Amino acid sequence: MPLVGGVRGHPMLLSWQAVERIVATPRELGIRDWLAAHTAAAAPFPATDPAYITDVDTPADVDRLRTLVHPATVTWPAPLRATQAPQSAGR
């Protein structure tokens, strides 16, 4: 896992054994909880590239990324539309 200025980043590469253990944890717990309980399982490496810790989860995150990389452009897929299940022929 990349570590930039003390901040854990992405991508995190996991062994299949770790994935199996994470999947077996209670649903209300996430990977952060698993990592906190299994600190020896993660091997961070020092990195300096801010891309490792740049989030693009929200429109505001995407706007910050656009500002950061300007004049390069950042395009984002259109929001997914809700799909409607087809009606059965008998209705």
Tens digit of pLDDT per residue, the chain (91 long)? 899 999 989 888 888 988 898 889 898 988 889 888 988 888 889 999 988 998 888 889 889 888 988 998 888 777 666 665 555 555 4
Report if pTM > 0.75. Answer: no
52: Cα separation from own chain's centroid: 10
Whose tokens are 């717990």? That residue is 29
CA distance 36 to 79: 34
What confidence score (pLDDT) does residue 57 get? Answer: 84
Q: What's the rounded Cα separation, in Å, for the pair 89 and 91?
A: 6
3-state helix, strand and coil shares in percent for the chain, rounded to the nearest 5: 35, 10, 55
pLDDT of residue 47: 95
Token digits of residue 25: 């944890």
Type of residue numbered 48: T
